[in-house]
Structure 1
Amino acid sequence: MPALTNVITLSLLHPVDKTPVQSWTFEKESVVRIGRSVSNDVVLYSAVVSRHHVELHQTPDGWEIHNVGINGTFLAGQRIEKKAVQDGLVIRLARSGPNIQINLVSQTRGMSSIHALIAKQEAARKSS
């Protein structure tokens, strides 16, 4: 059976209506860095975002968030330093900074996303 990889999509959410205004998808990276510096994978120009603010690490168990910024990373108003990522999770960079939604897709290597989705739906249908 082909190996699975987790594709991660990060979406910057509109500050008022919480709809995505920009998204980034990473299919092969094991670490994704977010911050104000241009050396990051996702660059956000906000005064409250640290130059190197947060890192997402792919582990054997899935993705983890690691706060590396001095202004903190928040989940539901609570500061976090390290946290396992679940699909749809929304983090805030600093107390008043931008919101980022994290979406995860398990994908079979060598297959397109749509083929992986169809395969997943067929497997679910067969098991029911």
Structure 2
Amino acid sequence: MITLTLLHPLQDIPVQSWTFDDEPVIRIGRATDNHVVLYSAVVSRHHVEVRRNEVTWDVLNLGSNGTYLDGKRVNQTPIIDGAVIRLARSGPKIQIRIDSAPLTEKQKAYLEKERSLTPSGSEPSKDTLLIEKNREAQKQASVPPNSPSASPPEDEGPSTRPDLNPS
């Protein structure tokens, strides 16, 4: 059983919930043919799918405005009980509760493997590699961890700093 709960935009309290017992795929979006219909301008007609695979549940982004998990844009990624996804950067937030037996060793290994790639479940992009390279350089330069330059950029677009753009 899986329960999706729409959270209040300001207080993170439940507004509405949907529970599914045997659905292998749950579709969320603006269109009325979805399992969960959300009327928001930033939500695509078919925005996201929550899919059961053989060991866990995955979130699959279909929307042009993106789907976010822990503030990071994801394309497809495994999720755990209690995860909160956001539809678009400023859209509705949905908490996912998975009511199942404790994770097996196989499920834990799968989740660890998938999470170790990137938040999107794919190979690292050039931007990700550049951010990692920048983090390593900052560590070697002994930059204090709370300084503004020690934080990676939050925007996923190209950096406005010339020293971070590849030549």
TM > 0.5? yes
- In structure 2, list runs of 5 or more residues that go unmatched: 102-167
User: In the alignment, is residue 91 of structure 1 matched against residue 85 of structure 2?
Assistant: yes
Q: 2:69: which partner in 1?
A: 75
Percent identity at matched positions?
A: 58
CA distance in 1, matches of 2:71, 2:10: 16
Higher helix share: 2
TM-score (norm 1): 0.77
Amino acid at match of 2:92: P
C-alpha deviation, 1:100, in angstroms: 0.3
Distance 2:35 2:10 in 1: 25
Q: Report how far residue 73 of structure 1 moved.
A: 0.1
Aligned to 2:37: 43
* Total equivalences in the alignment: 101
**How far apart in 2 are the matches of 1:8 and 1:71?**
25
Q: Which has the higher strand share?
A: 1
Match of 2:54 in 1: 60
Is residue 8 of structure 1 aligned with residue 2 of structure 2? yes
1:13-24 to structure 2, matched below 5 A, reads 13-24=7-18
Higher relative contact order (CA 8 A, sep 6+): 1
Q: Deviations over 1:46-66 (max 9, x none)?
A: 000000000011111111000
**Displacement, 1:15?**
0.7
Higher CA-based Rg: 2
2:18 is aligned with 1:27? no
TM-score of the superposed pair, with normalisation by structure 2: 0.59
Q: Which letter maps to 2:69?
A: L
Partners of 1:77 and 1:58 in 2: CA distance: 23
The 2-side partners of 1:61 and 1:37 are apart by 29
